Amino acid sequence: MKLLIKNVRAVDNGLDEITDILIDNGKITRMGTDIVEICDGREDRVIDATGLTAMPGLFDMHVHFRDPGQTHKEDIRSGCQAALAGGVTGVLTMPNTKPPIDSPELVQYELNKAKNTGVTLYPVACITKGMDGGALTDFAALRSAGAAALSDDGRPVKNAELMRQAIEKASKLGMLVCSHCEDLDIINGGIMHKGSVSEELGVKGMDRASEDYITAREIVLASAVGGRVHICHVSTKGCVDIIREAKRLGVQVTCETAPHYFMLTHEKLRSRDANDRMNPPLREESDRAAIESAVLDGTIDCIVTDHAPHSPQEKMNFELAPNGIVGLETSLAATLTALFHTGKMSLQDVVQRMSIRPREILGITPETLKVGAPANLILVDTERKWTVEPEKLHSKSHNTAFRGMELTGKVKITITDGRIRFEES
């Protein structure tokens, strides 16, 4: 099957030009402005992409697909469908499933279920057995089975010495440790950011010190053993300051954030809607501004989603609902709306934060728009305005904090291995 994409704006690292792209046998075979319409087979297709932008497929290095164990919320196949609708062609899946991903067999289960979805899935395995904070898992066996990283995401590794050992051991094996930075004693049952809004609502808050403290701890531990650590879902100004200084000092630390942390604040929770609750929580304007600045200056390496599906029934009660929101289908649009259309970030920088850098951190070859490269790319209408309607999302769950918001930028087509895997109807 051949695909000829005509008159598209191709954006990649060091590339921003109008061109045609010919795809044949799963690869990009030609690029230029003089490609004639040589698609003549029954399955061949010519796409007039005038006004659209081609980008390498995005990579989300923080998703929860709830599979195995909670597939009423999401499963690997529905999660991959949601990813493709958001232009995401690769995902890093967190291990807090039921049971947790702490064995080679469960790693293989995830990999097998993701076959033929059009999305490349990279499993994260647990740091500790059963994710209970006790004994370390067999890192080498998990790596051999296909685990791409290690984490107990959803909760921290409480014992600092155990985390030190984990970072040291993982680094020797060439594996990345991703840390959920939260001190459970400081949190003490809090359900949203500790501040003026939590006080007004009369609910227990989550102090910034929880995230800042464990972030600092992980950086000290990584520095002590000369290892690498990746800080998940950064949400506070203090965390940004700590990471920025650690990078200046040469510590091997990388980090991520999600669009809701640079777009929304705890003010949104005044409506007492549990679809605005996640962990870490939406914080104050000073934190939001600091997160945005850190994304723009590169202190924050990646934009992810922390895609965390929950059923409508689970989200009915504001105070008792589990934390988490879905985000795969809104992440690019939200980033374009908040950072590109405001003139704060170029499209090349969006590609860097959402496609190139996360793959680099994991040691994965980045997707690219070059002749000879695998045809894993997306076509985006960067000017398309649309309103987020939860019931139209491809995820099994519709718990989005962006419900009812108008965003600018829409994925039209997602292509992996030269095949159209998603096309907006």
Which is catalytic among the residues 306, 349, 381, 417? Answer: 306
**Is 306 among the residues known to form the active site?**
yes
Q: Pick from 124, 284, 321: which is nearest to 198 by CA? A: 284
**Total residue length of the chain:** 425
Classify residue 274 by its DSSP letter: G
SS3 assignment, position 399: coil
Query: Which residue has 């947790």 as its token pair?
Result: 100
- 343 C-beta neighbours (distance < 10 Å), count: 7
- CB within 8 Å of 5: residues ≥ 6 apart: 20, 21, 22, 23, 47, 49, 54, 379
Distance between CA 43 and CA 185 in Å, rounded? Answer: 59
For 284-353, give the DSSP string. Answer: -HHHHHHHHHHHHHTSS-EE---B----TTTTSSTTTSPP-B--TTTHHHHHIIIIITTTSS-HHHHHII
Are 204 and 195 in contact, with CB atoms under 8 Å apart?
no
Residues belonging to the active site = 306
